[in-house]
């Protein structure tokens, strides 16, 4: 029990240390306390505040307002789940961008990159818009990517922006109609001849996104979350899918035993 409490305190300290200067660190403490109180009293409400964040010797602005925002901040800027060995990222797709933290991470790592970020949930998209407007080369799109061109029901949770999905789950979710496009259609519309990194985190729709994808040869590297708890497929199905299209891949287990980060590199 004490070790869990100690680990939790260490995580909070790391998050606070990401903030630029005493004022922003104080604001982060206030936000963490406010979110804790909202959770205790069962209030599902954002407590949004703006922060200056330091990472890799660079400072940028972020709007954060929920426990899920803080969790994603930790995953991306402390755990660096999307760190890659790609040397020069010029074109990057961020599929399931949430509030834009992965897009910002990639932009800081690859300053010359053009990043295309996709987020279907309307409320989350509004935060993505505020977080990305400081970077001229992050272009944002308010639709989902999947296996059809058309429309689908999107299931949004009022508790966590991280769990929004095209897959209905037995929880308190809000059903929203959203536009959806195939990845092939998006590549055609963007008129790009290659993609250096495809990042995806789409809560159980990852296999349907990729299973009929025709443009693997234009992509250099894939990195994303595999949600086996939401899928009928297994790890071997993903391994076979990437191998059949000329990619070597590896899987890293996350804290949830049924969730993995996949890294897939094209064979040359």
**Burial class of residue 22 in the structure, from the number of CB atoms within 10 Å of its CB (0-12 exposed, 13-18 middle, 19+ buried):** exposed
Does residue 197 or residue 2 have the better pLDDT?
Answer: 197
How confident is the model at residue 69, as a pLDDT?
A: 96
pLDDT at 3 over 70: yes
Residue 24: C-alpha distances to residues 17, 72, 83, 161, 225 (Å) = 9, 18, 26, 23, 31
pLDDT at 128 over 60: yes
Which structural domain, as residue segments, surrounds residue 52? 1-77
pLDDT at 96 over 90: yes
Q: What confidence tier does 268 reach under pLDDT thresholds 50, 70, 90?
A: confident
pLDDT at 145 over 70: yes
**Residues 253 and 137 occupy one common structural domain:** yes
pLDDT at 53 over 80: yes
**Residues 29 and 102 occupy one common structural domain:** no
How confident is the model at residue 186, as a pLDDT?
A: 98
**Residues 72 and 113 occupy one common structural domain:** no
Write the pLDDT tens digit of every residue in 9-45.
999 999 999 999 999 999 999 999 999 999 999 888 8
**Residues 156 and 27 occupy one common structural domain:** no
**Alpha-carbon span 195 to 197, nearest angstrom:** 6
**Residues 192 and 210 occupy one common structural domain:** yes
% of the chain beyond a pLDDT of 90: 83
Write the pLDDT tens digit of every residue in 247-261.
999 999 988 779 999
Residue that terminates a domain, selected from 77, 111, 140: 77
pLDDT at 170 over 90: no
How confident is the model at residue 133, as a pLDDT?
A: 97
**Residues 157 and 192 occupy one common structural domain:** yes
Domains in the chain: how many in total? 2
**Residues 249 and 155 occupy one common structural domain:** yes
Write the pLDDT tens digit of every residue in 69-94.
999 999 999 999 999 999 989 999 99
**Alpha-carbon span 71 to 99, nearest angstrom:** 12
**Residues 115 and 216 occupy one common structural domain:** yes
pLDDT at 228 over 80: yes
């Amino acid at each position: 029990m004490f070790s869990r409490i100690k680990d939790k305190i260490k995580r909070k300290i790391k998050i606070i240390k990401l903030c630029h200067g005493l004022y922003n660190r104080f604001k982060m403490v206030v936000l963490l306390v406010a979110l804790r109180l909202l959770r205790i009293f069962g209030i599902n409400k954002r407590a949004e505040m703006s922060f200056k964040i330091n990472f890799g010797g660079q400072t940028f602005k972020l709007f954060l307002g929920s426990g899920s925002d803080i969790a994603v901040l930790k995953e991306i800027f402390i755990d660096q789940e999307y760190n890659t060995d790609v040397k020069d990222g010029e074109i990057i797709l961020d599929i399931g961008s949430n509030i834009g933290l992965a897009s910002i991470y990639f932009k800081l790592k690859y300053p010359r990159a053009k990043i295309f970020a996709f987020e279907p949930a309307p409320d989350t998209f509004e935060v993505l818009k505020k977080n990305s407007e400081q970077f001229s080369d992050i272009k944002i799109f308010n639709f989902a990517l999947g296996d059809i061109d058309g429309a689908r029901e999107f299931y949004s949770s009022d508790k966590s922006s991280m769990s929004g999905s095209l897959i209905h789950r037995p929880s308190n979710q809000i059903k929203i109609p959203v536009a959806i496009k195939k990845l092939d259609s998006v590549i055609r519309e963007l008129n790009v001849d290659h993609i250096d990194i495809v990042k995806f985190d789409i809560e159980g729709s990852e296999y349907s996104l990729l299973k009929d994808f025709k443009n693997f040869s234009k992509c250099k590297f894939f990195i994303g979350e595999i949600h086996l708890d939401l899928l009928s497929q297994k790890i071997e199905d993903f391994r076979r899918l990437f191998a059949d299209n000329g990619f070597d891949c590896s899987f890293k287990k996350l804290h949830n035993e049924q969730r993995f980060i996949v890294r897939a590199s094209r064979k040359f």
